[in-house]
Amino acid sequence: MIDQSVVAPPDSVARLPVRPSAGRFLILAVVFVCAACGLVYELELVALASYLIGDSVTQASVVLSLMVFAMGLGSLLAKRLRCRAAVGFGLVEAALALLGGLSALVLYATFAWMGESRYALIGFSLSIGVLIGAEIPLLMTLIQRVSRQDAGGTVADLFAADYVGALVGGLAFPFLLLPWFGQLTGALLTGAVNVVAGGALVLWIFGRDLTGRERGLLLLVNVLVLAVLATATVLVDDFERAARRAVYGDGVRVAVQTDVQEIVLTGGAEGPLDLYLDGRLRVSERDEHRYHEALVHPAMRGPHARVLILGGGDGLAAREVLRYPDVRSLTLVELDPGVARLARTDPALAALNEHVYDDPRFRAEYADAFTWLRGRGAVGAGGSGAYDVVISDLPNPGITPSTKLYSEEFYGLASRVLAEGGRLAVHAGPPAVRPRTYWTVDATLRSAGFGTSPYTATGQAAGFGTGPDRSHDGRNAGGDEGAGAGARTDWGFVLAAVGRPPAVGLAPDAPRLRSLAPPVLEAGILRAERTRLRDLPPSTLVHPRYAG
């Protein structure tokens, strides 16, 4: 409910340089611009927090709930500025532009150099929310100084401009700012637009009602904010390189921001190759073979003429599959063409995957794995399009965007493209660190009609944690939260087949492997069994059950 004391017409009427109708239109235009900028700040905080901290659902909930709460506080605090609404609004917009514009830089800096950005996220959410909440009460006071429309009509006009501006800002963020400017520069440009719009409105439309000191103060503050934002924009590339070195070390060779994620390659020419996706270590040349051998080769025991890999755009799981000469075709479904492009063209990564993208048996398709499987639904089990082996080389189920790829519906779709007697191999996260997540994957597969055989493998360096990884400097060598420096990490897998559990073992014609052998698999089965949790419910699209 709007406080009527805020919207009641003031006694004085502003001395305007334009007609009242034009002044009213200009105020509504500024409402539109400020609303767009405010929503960009919100989305920027959500996006960057999801990238830096992980678990997008939690981060979105924290940011939005704190901001809405703070907006209520801002509306109450704005009542104290009603008597000086014009200068108050000008200062609020300058502060909002400065905080919103620099928020992405500061969040990334705290993550890069301090390793923790949660407190900065909370602080920006609250402060930006307070400033956004102060806008509408001040603008209501200003617009009624321009024309004496009834309070209900004023509220309707202001909120209409506010909501339309929010729509434009919400669409501009993913379709304009992110692809054209990136997160850091996009936030800085938004701040510049914000301060120009707020400052121009106050200094031009209401300048005659300000004292000389107030005009000088507002002009100085706006110029300083613009100068800070402009300087940060000029230096943003240097800042990003320095922050990237702080996160990944000095060996960064490739850093690419695709439509899906940030891809960083370190090492390769000198030292082991590491591949990071959105700040998380996905491949370490030091021991990636342990992960990929354990994921692929138990599933190859049995017919394996036609193989499907879901994910795995780095080509390393495909490398293991194509070591079998009797594999006739291998289809890989990768969401991000940028990963595949690097796997094909980067000399170090292409050498590591043994140039699988050039193998005539290999075919890559670029699509969301869930959507791709759904499109293949017409191919029944045993049909001409069925696969003997399906390998799910996907990120941890604890990462929110991946939960649908570990759902009962997803595994139901996978079962429809399996040939009779076919096997499905799933990377299911670390059972020692997150046993509930791991055994929920097992329960979900069983709910989808599969028999399951869980097992694990161990590694020294590479991890698949749900949070940003600092493995390059040994601070979290295990890659999983809770693992100390130098700790070993475990990878959990589930081998599944429709109807009955498949045996975990190696094919008689398996190639010579670097780390995997029958005793290693037997030990992996026992390690998984020691962490078993029973009677867990399955995860579905409408009820995801994986912890972040």
Phi, psi angles (nearest 5°) of residue 311: 85, -155
3-state secondary structure 282-325: EEECCCHHHHHHHHHHHHHCCCCCEEEEEECCCCHHHHHHCCCC
Active site residues: 393
Calculate the alpha carbon distances from 275 to 101, 343, 465 in Å: 30, 10, 14
Calculate the alpha carbon distances from 210 to 95, 220, 431, 460 in Å: 19, 14, 66, 67
Phi, psi angles (nearest 5°) of residue 171: -80, -35
Structure tokens at 495: 């081998």
Q: What proportions of the chain, in percent to the nearest 5, are helix, strand and coil?
A: 55, 15, 30
CA distance linking residue 323 with residue 94, whole number of Å? 62
Residues 455/438, Cβ–Cβ less than 8 Å: no
CB-based contacts of 417: which residues, under 8 Å, 6+ apart?
308, 373, 376, 379, 381, 385, 386, 387, 390
Structure tokens at 32: 């539109």
Calculate the alpha carbon distances from 265 to 269, 272, 382, 441, 522 in Å: 11, 10, 40, 30, 34
